[in-house]
Amino acid sequence: MANREALRDLQARLANRLQAAKSEALSVSSWLAVEAGATSYLLPLGHSGEIFPWGAVQPVPYTQKWFLGVANLRGGLSGVVDLAVLLGDSPVRTEQKLAEASLLALNTALEVNVALLVDRLAGLRGVDAFVSSEPPAPDAPSFFGSVYLDASGARWQELNLQLLAQHPTFLSISA
C-alpha cells in the first residue's frame, strides 16, 4: 500500500514540475559554442555529435591541408577536419594546444563520418546569451548563418553543419 502512495506522490510531483516548466519561460540552448583558431562559432546542437579528446590521427597523403587524416572514434574510422584551416584561418598549434583541443563528431543523421578539430569548447548557448545579431555577409559561404554579439562584444559566427557537410569544398578532400 505504501508503494502505491509513494508512486502517486511521485506522479503528482512530476505533473506539477511539468506544468511549471511549461508555464515558465525557460532558456533553451540551441548551440554548442566552440573556438577554432581565432574565431568563435555556434554549432547547432542537433547537428553536433559526440565530443572526443584529441587523439592519434593518421595522416592521409594527397589531401587538402585542412583534412588532417582519419581517427578511430569508438571503433569506427572518421575523417578529421581542421575547422579553422577549412574556414581560412592559419592557427599555430603547439603540442600543448593540441592536447587541449577536441574532436567534435558530426551527428550521424548528417551521413558523413567526420569529426571537426576545435581548439576550445565554450559551452552551450541560447539566443538569450546574445545582445544582438547580424545577417551573414553577402559574400559569406552558404553554410554561414547569422553573427551574434554577446554582452562583452565578442562575435559568434553561426555555422549550419548540415549545409557544411554537403558543401562541394568540404566533400572534396583531394589536393
Banded model confidence at residue 95, pLDDT cuts 50, 70, 90: confident
Span 34-41, average pLDDT: 96
pLDDT higher than threshold 70 for residue 175: yes
For residues 116 and 87, is the Cβ–Cβ distance under 8 A?
no
Q: What pLDDT is stored for residue 26 in this prediction?
A: 52
pLDDT higher than threshold 90 for residue 132: yes
Determine what percent of the chain is predicted with pLDDT higher than 90. 75
Residues 39-79: pLDDT tens digits?
999 999 999 999 999 988 999 999 999 999 999 999 999 99
Average pLDDT, the chain: 89
Q: What pLDDT is stored for residue 147 in this prediction?
A: 96
pLDDT higher than threshold 80 for residue 16: no
Helices (H), the chain: 2-23, 83-86, 95-100, 161-166, 168-171
* Cell of residue 1, nine digits: 500500500
Distance CA 121, CA 34 (A): 5
